[in-house]
Structure 1
Amino acid sequence: MPRKSVKLVSAEGFEFTVDYRAACVSNTIKQMLSSEGNFTETELGEINFPEISAPILEKICEYFYYRLRHMNESSKTIPEFCIPPEMALELLKASNYLDT
């Protein structure tokens, strides 16, 4: 039976449960969850991010749903995804790692 949700855990231990399809917006997460073998991430559907703070991971989760919602729309109709300036650098680093 396919997995319905994934638990993403921030550096501080905050847990974010997101829809599997939304989490797979990230190519890194998608690879972690679909890798062959007995990896904890694949078996439990839980991924720890010791380098990503809770506020940044929360914004990333918001983006996953935003991207999933607007995936098949014309770029002219997609609303802007707002990023607070104080989060921009950390979000850029995290999105680079997560390949989103």
Structure 2
Amino acid sequence: MEGEDVKPTVTLVSSDNMEYSISKEVAMVSPTLRVMLEGPFKEKSGRVELPGIEGNVLAKVVDYLQYNLQYKFANKDQEDIPEFEIPTEMALELLLAADYLNV
């Protein structure tokens, strides 16, 4: 469709081959993904394989990246920012993924 703004997308692939397509803007929230997508790496093609992160954990990471982008510049005094829910059973895996992706 002519005239529409088509945002570039990135595909994140988990260790169990689950794929999540997100906007490049959302992916750039992670400094690690930013380096992979902008540097001289094969991931520059827009497909990032994350063999250390399982699909269910990667889905939650994608949710967090979107949440982070949405509320990044929100003023805590003026806007009610909802809490990001983290399932207890997934906490350790999310901590490791967050550390790896630097978010």
The question of a shared fold, defined as TM-score above 0.5 by the shorter chain, is answered with yes
* In 2: Cα distance, 1:21 partner to 1:31 partner: 13
* In 2: Cα distance, 1:11 partner to 1:75 partner: 36
Q: Which residue of 1 aligns with 2:64?
A: 63
Q: Which residue of 1 aligns with 2:92?
A: 89
Structure 1: unaligned runs, 5 residues or longer: none
Structure 2: unaligned runs, 5 residues or longer: 1-6
**Residue 29 of structure 1 aligns to which amino acid in structure 2?**
L
| Large movers: runs of 4+ above 6 Å | none
TM-score (norm 1): 0.90
TM-score (norm 2): 0.88
Structure showing greater radius of gyration is 2
Percent identity over the alignment is: 39
What number of residue pairs does the alignment pair up?
96
* In 2: Cα distance, 1:64 partner to 1:94 partner: 12
Task: Pick from 24, 30, 45 the counterpart of residue 28 of structure 2.
Answer: 24
Q: CA deviation at 1:75?
A: 2.9
Q: Which residue of 2 aligns with 1:99?
A: 102
